[in-house]
Chains A and B, each alone.
Chain A
Amino acid sequence: MNENWSFSDALGMNPQTKQQVVDTYFMEHRARLVDIAAYLDRVDRGQGDDPLDFRDVAFRRAVEILLDGQPQRARRVLELFSDHTSELPQSADGMKGAMGAVSLTDGGAA
């Protein structure tokens, strides 16, 4: 192994051809894609104003990553949903559990 190699340099080993990947996983991920489409439709059909919820904003930004043509989509989506602040609260007292995303204007990746 090259001494300058690091795990950041992904190996990219995949025993399957691109065609085999599509053959194996298309139906499964077609279903998940329809789930996402239906979820967005469900938000649209919900009563009241647009929620302006930070999770919804991050979600739609993440969807854009899927089609940007760049590699490491899963890593970049997870980074988008991550807290990038450096402050540490003293205590977790009163804090809720994990929410799955952060405000992109307040500690998010954007």
Chain B
Amino acid sequence: MKYIDPHIHMVSRTTDDYQRMAQAGCIAITEPAFWAGFDRSSAQGFYDYFRQLTEYEPKRAAQFGIQHFTWLCINPKEADDPGFAREVVSMIPDFLNSKEQLCGGNVLGIGEIGLNKNTKNELIILEEQIALAETFNQLVLVHTPHLEDKLKGTRLIMDALSASKIDPGRILIDHVEEHTVSEVLDRGFWAGMTLYPDTKVTPQRAADIIEMYGDERIWMNSAGDWGCSDPLAVPKARLEMRRRGHAPTTVDKVTFNNPQQFLSQSPNFLLT
């Protein structure tokens, strides 16, 4: 078996995790830019982070036969200061236009952009990053807010995306749960389920959602990071689906074929 973990923050994980993921069948990951658990004090901090995502982390993954792809942005949690956020966003085109990217680098698009506390400031920067993706014809990976803020934030984000000219089929809205998944799919977006022990969905609930809403335009990811999370959550969800009697083709579809289909819309997503 092989699978793709399309959302995981390997900069926060140990090299042992790469090894375990490879042993469990992971052949590729995509790593969105995110909040490091503390606010960075300068735009230069983001520049270094973007270099880590585009230069260093692919080499670390390659040691275990895992292909590493990434997404760049300023995350919503650090986007509440529009002046600071714009300084960070202004650096992204250089990474999209770099010689490496033009020759097949590892940047797939803009992400994970979205909202955190559903503020006007966050929304302004979200709209500007959507415009950046539109200008550079990039895929979009969306972070939806946590817990009580998710329902309202997901709707605000979808409205902002629908106001752009980006095809919803080139946008994945992540961290969906039972109260947001149907609206995301109904509006033509892709949906991502994040497998967290407490705050998002468990492997059992992810399998429930597949059973209720089908296996089209949906994937699952671990979003493993510095908090309570599990880099082997995707193979555990595969096991959960098999335990219930789902066909191997269905399991492969939501953990390999679907991510491959969505991500292949980027010319930089080439599995070797």
Contact = CB atoms under 8 A, between A and B. Distances in A.
Interface of A: 6-8, 10-16, 24-25, 72, 74-76, 78-79, 81-86, 88-93, 95, 97-102
A93 B146 CA distance: 17
Contact of A8 (B118, B156, B182): B182
Contacts of B117: 89, 92, 95
14 contacts: A6-B182, A10-B213, A76-B179, A82-B152, A86-B152, A89-B117, A90-B120, A90-B121, A91-B120, A92-B117, A93-B80, A99-B147, A100-B147, A100-B148
Most buried by A among B147, B148, B152: B148
A25 B211 CA distance: 16
A85 B208 CA distance: 29
Contact of A14 (B145, B146, B179, B211): B211
Contacts of A10: 182, 212-213
Contacts, number: 103
Interface in B5-35: none
Nearest to B198: A100
B212 A82 contact: no
Given A16-B245, A92-B119, A92-B122, A101 B214 contact: no
A38 to B, nearest CB: 17
A93 B117 CA distance: 10
Contacts of B167: none
B164 to A, nearest CB: 19
Contacts of A86: 152
B174 interface: no
A8 B244 contact: no
Interface residues of B, number: 37
A98 to B, nearest CB: 4
Q: Tell me what chain B mostly uses at the interface: helix, strand, loop, or mixed.
A: helix
Nearest to B218: A7
Given A8-B186, A102-B148, 15 more contacts: A7-B214, A11-B214, A13-B211, A15-B244, A74-B208, A82-B149, A85-B152, A86-B152, A88-B156, A89-B117, A89-B120, A91-B120, A92-B80, A92-B121, A98-B148
A8 B178 CA distance: 11
Contact of A98 (B149, B181, B205, B213): B149
Interface string B162-197: 000000000000000111011101100000000000
A99 B117 CA distance: 11
A14 B80 CA distance: 43
A7 B151 CA distance: 16
B148 A82 contact: yes
Contact of B179 (A79, A90, A93): A79
A24 B244 contact: yes
B45 to A, nearest CB: 19
A79 B148 CA distance: 8
B237 to A, nearest CB: 15
A98 B199 CA distance: 10
B72 interface: no
A11 B148 contact: no
B186 A7 contact: yes
Nearest to A28: B204
B229 to A, nearest CB: 16
B147 A81 contact: yes
B123 to A, nearest CB: 7
